[in-house]
Structure 1
Amino acid sequence: MKIIRQVCIIDDDPIFVFGAKRMLTKNNFCSNIEVFTNGKDALENILPRNDESFPDIIFLDLNMPVMDGWEFLDEFSKSSKKCKVLLFVLSSSIDSVEVQTAKTYDVVFDFIEKPLSKDKINLLKNKLEGRDL
């Protein structure tokens, strides 16, 4: 798999973000990682961008202040740029209702249980093999 150019993590937990950035970097998953602590800041920053600076992948937490992951999904799903990104929903609990609800959004590529590990990153790499990012 080619290295992914731009990843965006939308999560308010600094411990998770630190670990996720470390795992993604250590496993050569991407060359650039940016972080937003809520969906509102992410939308305001990402949506106005041109294609060159738009993220390839978004990792989205569901529970955050200001604008949570569900609200982000509602707004992002309306964007014409939604097809330019693969979005992964992250959660510390795999609640079957959350998983099923997340899968109703066409923009959601997959649901991942926290934390990110080497095995999960390798599984992601396999799922992304052959995709044009």
Structure 2
Amino acid sequence: MIRKLPFIGIIDDDKIYQFTLMRIINDNKQAEKIITFSDGEKAIHYLTDNKSTNENIPDIIFLDVNMPIMDGWQFIDEYASIKTEIKKKIVIFMLSSSVNPIDIERASKINEISDYIIKPMKLEEVKMFFDNF
């Protein structure tokens, strides 16, 4: 059986990191489609506007912690309030260059976050992640 490739969302204000992660995913043919947002607010608006169309909702979101306008924590709070309106399960991975144990513990206590990943993700990590998805 052929596995369906996921639709990926990347929410990160760092355009270079967005590009790098997209390039790794695309070069290794790990996604059907990728959509990017530079802050959580734009991503929340997108999810709200598309909540009734599953094909427009990412399967996986890579969410940066530190961003202007709406950071990762604020995004998660907003997402938690709208997730029942979205009929598709979204797996959210929080990305951060922070190795602060407080951030890691905070993320582990939030049901909407599947895992906390230290940036930058290396090619081997991305491949292993998608092999296990």
Fold match (TM-score > 0.5):
yes
Render the CA deviation track for 1:75-100: whole Å, top value 9, x for unaligned.
10122138610000000122111111
Moved over 6 A (4+): none
Contact 1:10 1:61 in 2 (8 A): yes
CA separation in 2, counterparts of 1:123 and 1:100? 23
1:61-100 equivalent positions in 2, closer than 5 A: 61-79=64-82, 80=84, 81=86, 84-100=89-105
CA RMSD of aligned residues (A): 1.6
Shift of 1:5: 3.3
Provide the residue aligned with 2:15 in structure 1. Answer: 14
Counterpart AA for 2:129: L
Instruction: Note the residue ranges of structure 1 that are not aligned, 5 or more in a row.
Output: 129-133
* 2:24 match: 23
TM-score normalised by L of structure 2: 0.88
Q: Percent identity?
A: 34
Count of residues in correspondence between the two structures: 128
Equivalents in 1 of 2:78, 2:116: separation in Å? 18
In structure 2, distance between residues paired with 1:24 and 1:3: 15
Contact 2:57 2:88 in 1 (8 A): no
CA distance in 1, matches of 2:87, 2:24: 26
Within-5 A mapping of 1:1-133: 2-49=3-50, 50-79=53-82, 80=84, 81=86, 84-128=89-133
Offset from partner CA, 1:94-132 (integer Å, 9 cap, x none): 21111110111111111111112211112212431xxxx
Given the superposition, is the C-alpha separation of residues 96 and 82 from structure 1 closer, same or farther in structure 2, using an over 3 Å criterion? farther
Q: Quickly say closer, same or farther: Cα 1:83–1:6, change in 2 above 3 A.
A: closer
> What do residues 26-45 of structure 1 show as CA deviations (whole Å, max 9, x unaligned)?
12210211110000010001
Q: Secondary structure at the match of 2:102?
A: helix
